[in-house]
Amino acid sequence: MNSLKFCIILLSLLNIPIIILAQEDANYLYHICENATTSTINRAYRVNLNLVLSSLASNATRNNINGFYSTSFGHNYTDQVYGQIICRGDLSNTVCQNCVTFATKDVVKRCPIGIASIIFYDACHLRYSNRNFFSRVDPNPFMSMWNTQNTTNDPQRFNNLVATSVNDSATQAASAPPGAKKFGVTITYVDGFQNIYSLAQCTPDLSSFSCNSCLREAISRLPNCCSSKIGARVFSPSCYIHYERFEFFDATAVEAVSLFPPPPLPPVTLPVPEGKSAVSTVLIIAIVIPIAVTIVLCCMGFCFLRRRARKTRYSVPENDGKEH
């Protein structure tokens, strides 16, 4: 009996990390609910909303969707429901699935009478509405979040580097080919110990022009909300940007562009082993080679002069003692 209780307790403990992992993957940020009234929502809408949320959860990591999925249920404007999920571009299918599964349950609790809702997590965003928002830029509402700590060294230079970094990430995201993730990350060198890590992402159903417009609008809001802040994000239903002083994305999973790379490290001078001369190998070579060349040239010159002397002596006839 004690063994059975032990096994039950052990299994319960093993399930706790799974629940915690799903919540950590989600990491709730913000939500907006457009609440319904009794005249704008009906039973058919509720049924279709449940179908949309179920479909989003089951298709979150389907092949070839790049962490993005849209679906709709209903036949007329009174019960039509449109739903969409997007996961952060550097995350694995497992993290994406955990976030979306958690979001489909969490949004119902936070927006129990929502006819249109959007909920943001660090790993994914989920949205549903009674209006068709697919392939359309919806910049409003824009929301901002920031780290309360300010940079301590040269705020103006820091703000300029942030602007350069997020603009480059936005360019990457907007220039992605059709069907690919509209996602970009940049690592910008600040000094010997710190970098700026920035990320930009749009929903993949937007055109490059629409994605670019959305991200530029988000970036334009940074000076008002987040000047000199060491970390911030601005997000909307269609796009968002995020930067930090620490690596918050998986750089190994994406091509991170490095701006202003750090200067090369100074050459390392190896210590001279004890008991040996401190004269470098290069100096030894510089001394030995000229000496060797000089010796070789001297030998060649000596041989040449000796042969020439022999030829001169042989060309003069010997005197045989007779007078001519």
Mean pLDDT of 30-48: 84
Q: Does domain 143-259 have CATH number 3.30.430.20?
A: yes
- Whether 143-259 and 26-129 are alike in CATH topology: the answer is yes
Q: Which range has the worst mean pLDDT, 42-56, 179-193, 273-287?
A: 273-287
**Which residues, including other chains, have CB under 8 Å from residue 298's CB and lie 6 or more apart?**
none
Residue extents of the structural domains in the chain? 26-129, 143-259
Among 6-10, 36-40, 195-199, 315-319, which range has the highest average pLDDT?
195-199
CATH code linked to domain 26-129: 3.30.430.20
Phi first, then psi: what are they for 293, rounded to 5°? -65, -40
pTM value?
Answer: 0.72
Mode of pairing for the β-strands spanning 257-259 and 182-189? parallel
Per-residue pLDDT tens over the stretch 5-31: 433 333 344 343 333 444 555 799 999
pLDDT at residue number 252 = 84
pLDDT at residue number 10 = 35
